[in-house]
């Protein structure tokens, strides 16, 4: 996708598969997107769409039987898929950091908060333990944790869910990364704490100038925090647009389905919310052609073939036959009927 900003991360045709004795399961199948410097891109989709596997592939954290089998991940112009493991260790936590899902399972229960934050300073900045603890206290202050001098010596189980999530953010930001990958950073938090965490990340982005990849299934989070959005389905990007364009004029039937399934505070809703029929297919039993066709109300004969991701004059991208010259369905089809506000 074309942007006016300088690009810090350029993912090109990324492919990640998981192998069994009988078959290859393509979890990420030709994903491409760009992250401009200082901007936030949201990656959205249902569970099983490949969002988290994409993020782990970028940092080369895929474990057996998984493997990145193709594509490029250009970070500041260098393909990090070609770097050695020693080089990647210098990049992880230093230039690119990640906030993982579920802080209680991501934090080590037998080490104090200060020890876990301080590890980044010891590894990347070669600080001693005392200096690392001092900087850890500064990081706890930065993310708004009260009494940081006390908290730095506590264990994860002694903190609330919101505090643990702030500790994860402090760990991720310890070395002032250029790119932060946040995988469902507000999962399992109540609405008030969610808002605080998102506001904190936005504030830190403004202060530190970092770029963010926000992985979420929550389109409300996307609307609040992101500049661009990549909608994923079955390991592929099906739509990529600016947040404004995506919410004002979604084009892919899957994107429209996601938006229509959201409750709206400015409308009286009678009965049940709209749903997308069916479910995400198993990666081992992927339909041929358009992956969304079995669930799409507009599917036609041509959808038995896989559409390409095409870019329009505004730089937005769409993977759908409806917008092609080859479309053989209803020529008057209107995928998105704008609702009045």
Q: Residue 338: give the domain boundaries.
A: 1-95+177-341
Q: Do 57 and 89 share a domain, yes or no?
A: yes
139 and 283, same domain (yes or no): no
What integer pLDDT is reported at residue 340 of this predicted model?
A: 36
pLDDT at residue 273, as a whole number: 72
| Higher-scoring residue by pLDDT: 192, 130 | 130
Percent over 90 (pLDDT), the chain: 61
Count of structural domains, the chain: 2
What does the buried/exposed string (b/e) look like for 2-35 if buried means 16 or more CB atoms within 10 Å of the residue's CB? ebeeebbbbbeebbbbbeeeeeebbbbbbbbbbb
- Each residue's pLDDT tens digit, 305-340: 999 999 988 889 999 999 998 998 777 777 766 443
Find the mean pLDDT for residues 123-150: 92
Query: Residue 283: is its pLDDT beyond 90?
Result: no
Q: Percent of the chain, pLDDT > 70?
A: 93
Is 28 a residue whose pLDDT tops 80? Answer: yes
106 vs 128, residue with greater confidence: 128
Q: Which of 170, 195, 216 is the last residue of a domain?
A: 170
pLDDT tier at 3, thresholds 50, 70, 90: very low
166 inside domain: yes
Range from 68-77, 85-94, 96-105, 259-268 carrying the lowest mean pLDDT: 259-268
For the record, the structure tokens of 60 come out as 């080369």
Distant-in-sequence, close-in-space partners of 13: CB < 8 Å, separation ≥ 6: 30, 31, 32, 70, 71, 72
What is the predicted pLDDT for the residue at 188? 67
Average of pLDDT values for 105-124?
91
- Is residue 100, in this structure, part of any structural domain at all? no
Which CATH number characterizes residue 187's domain? Answer: 3.40.50.300
Least confident of 5-14, 180-189, 219-228: 180-189
Band the pLDDT of 75: cuts 50, 70, 90: very high
Shared domain for 88 and 219, answered yes or no, is yes
Residue 25 lies in a domain: yes
50 and 125 belong to one structural domain = no
């Amino acid at each position: 996708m074309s942007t006016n900003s300088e690009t810090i991360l350029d993912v090109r045709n990324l492919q990640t598969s998981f192998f069994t004795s009988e078959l290859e399961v393509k979890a990420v199948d030709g994903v491409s997107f760009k992250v401009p410097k200082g901007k936030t891109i949201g990656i959205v989709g249902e569970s099983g769409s490949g969002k988290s596997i994409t993020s782990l592939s970028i940092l080369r954290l895929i474990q057996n039987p998984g493997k990145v089998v193709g594509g490029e991940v250009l970070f500041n112009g260098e393909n990090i898929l070609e770097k050695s493991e020693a080089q990647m260790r210098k990049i992880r936590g230093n230039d690119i950091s990640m906030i993982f899902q579920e802080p209680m399972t991501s934090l080590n229960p037998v080490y104090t908060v200060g020890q876990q934050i301080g590890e980044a300073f010891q590894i990347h900045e070669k600080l001693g333990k005392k200096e690392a603890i001092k900087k850890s206290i500064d990081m706890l202050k930065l993310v708004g944790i009260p009494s940081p001098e006390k908290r730095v010596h506590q264990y994860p189980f002694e903190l609330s869910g919101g505090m643990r999530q702030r500790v994860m953010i402090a760990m991720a930001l310890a070395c002032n990364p250029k790119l932060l990958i946040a995988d469902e950073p507000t999962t399992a938090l109540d609405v008030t704490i969610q808002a605080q965490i998102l506001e904190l990340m936005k504030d830190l982005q403004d202060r530190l100038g970092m770029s963010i990849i926000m992985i979420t299934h929550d389109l409300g989070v996307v609307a609040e925090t992101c500049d661009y959005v990549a909608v994923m389905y079955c390991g592929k990007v099906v739509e990529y647009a600016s947040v404004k364009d995506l919410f004002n004029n979604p084009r892919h039937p899957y994107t429209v389905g996601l938006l229509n399934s959201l409750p709206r505070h400015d409308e009286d809703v009678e009965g049940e919310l709209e749903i997308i029929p069916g479910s995400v297919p198993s990666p081992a039993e992927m339909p041929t052609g358009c992956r969304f066709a079995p669930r799409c109300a507009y599917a036609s004969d041509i959808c038995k073939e896989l559409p390409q991701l095409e870019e329009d004059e505004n730089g937005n991208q769409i993977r759908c036959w409806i917008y092609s010259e080859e479309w053989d369905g209803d020529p008057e089809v209107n995928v998105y009927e704008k609702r009045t506000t």
